[in-house]
Chains A and B, each alone.
Chain A
């Protein structure tokens, strides 16, 4: 680095006018050193805090659930796990000889989740396709924020709507015995999952880019063929991620199912009869944890349900991360 080189590279003389000395004083040096390390430590702490929060939640739930299973022998613990997962008899508040069979509650959660997805996925994906490929720019600028407002409505407002409007309507028009049932909860959950699904799927479809679409048109494909055979297959991992995120929204939702599903702990029979009341894992925890004496088996078994719920969402989250990573790889052209 000689002077002559600098002058050659910088004919206007800007570097010459830059008079600040290259070497810092000791104080400046120290300040910069401390500043950068403090900043880094602060950022590390903030990130670390949320990671620790997740780990602590895991640890706490597991810690509170274990006493339900582990007291006495291993065979006893195994029997309790088996009763919890396979018996269909939930009566934990009974004073003598209570029952802890959560099968009906687990299937209840699956019922509302699957049914709400059956409703929300086709509508959500089609709406995303419309927004990304068909709608004029102006319309899209209006529609997308409006759809995202759906996500901002508090769930208790949806719950009141379900109890006061949807339930009486189902009894009057559809002739159901009770309006607080699996179908009601699924309907409302579907509406709540829509903004997530539409928004993520639309991002995935938009990320496919103009080049791919134009290449398809250049080969003589119509717009419909381009959408169905090129854009959607190309964006499939993003769409799957959208569906999984919507699923997590549905399985974790509490207030709406607590108000709309009827909370009867039984498996509908026949199995396809959605006009019957069901109960979900989240509603059970929310409804029973309030007054249950701390340290009783009933208290611990609610945390066991919490573990199941965490396991479900954790698995779903892993899948969605996997598909999201795939989307990013594709966006880079990998």
Chain B
């Protein structure tokens, strides 16, 4: 743009730049499709790629794991994001279409159940948590606490945290009508911190001394237990590609970005757990 002032030469330069950019675009175009849980990671990776490789263009669309996998099978995207492994039928479909899915685990997702610090309850089982959210347990004295009604706090239904919790703890059972919905991890934290009878769930990055973490099935949430998959509400987050990407290609750089220091920082800043254990 700056060159435009100097006249005809600049126009030629401009055209040349445009041509180069167009050529590069055609080569480095990444279409990424799939899970809303993995979406924030892919978004942040794409953002980081923009400054690292200015010529590449990455489109991330968050449509859900199933849609992402379907679009990889139809070769409509180069990378599919999924918060679960492919189902058998999907895998067969892919192979029949000549697509050989390869899974890359980029991060672990763990959702921690938190209570008000004054609550004496130390540990819960996932079944108890499910019954609380389904409205079958309504008072803390039913799970070994004091006589106080339970105030249930959930994330909004469009969040990835809700999706993880809904699948790993609720097993898709319906939550009670009286559940309060809040629209961010910090807000869930604030509500639990200020409400005595509250139970809520947040990503690992949002635990601090103002809320009390409970053990689930006897396991306390930590980077280590989530990265090793011992904590019951943890799961791997996948990127799927068609075959292992050509070494040195943009796709390869993208699916291995979580191994770099910057990639790990991004994963942690989004409230997920990097796979490295240290």
Contacts and interface: CB of A to CB of B under 8 A. Distances in A.
Interface of A: 91, 93-95, 104, 163-164, 167-168, 171, 177-180, 258-259, 262-266, 276-277, 279, 287-293
Interface stretch (B97-105, B120-128, B171-179, B217-225): B171-179
A305 to B, nearest CB: 15
B197 A177 contact: yes
Residue with the highest number of chain B CB atoms closer than 10 Å, among A163, A276, A289: A163
Contact of B191 (A163, A177, A279, A293): A163
A263 B63 contact: no
A284 to B, nearest CB: 10
Secondary structure at the A interface, as helix, strand, loop or mixed, is loop
Contacts of A279: 181
A99 to B, nearest CB: 9
Contact of A178 (B156, B159, B180): B180
B191 A167 contact: yes
A293 B172 CA distance: 18
Contacts, number: 71
A179 B194 contact: yes
A288 B157 contact: yes
A290 to B, nearest CB: 5
Given A277-B178, A291-B36, 15 more contacts: A94-B174, A95-B172, A178-B180, A179-B195, A258-B183, A262-B181, A264-B177, A264-B179, A265-B177, A287-B157, A287-B158, A287-B181, A290-B158, A292-B158, A293-B64
Interface residues of B, number: 28
B190 A263 contact: no
A292 B159 CA distance: 10
B177 A104 contact: yes
Given A178-B151, A293-B64, A91 B194 contact: no
Contacts of B177: 104, 264-266
A263 B178 contact: no
Interface string B137-172: 000000000000101000011110000000000001
B196 interface: yes
Contacts of B151: 177-178
Contacts of A167: 191, 194-195
A263 B181 contact: yes
B182 interface: yes
A163 B190 CA distance: 8
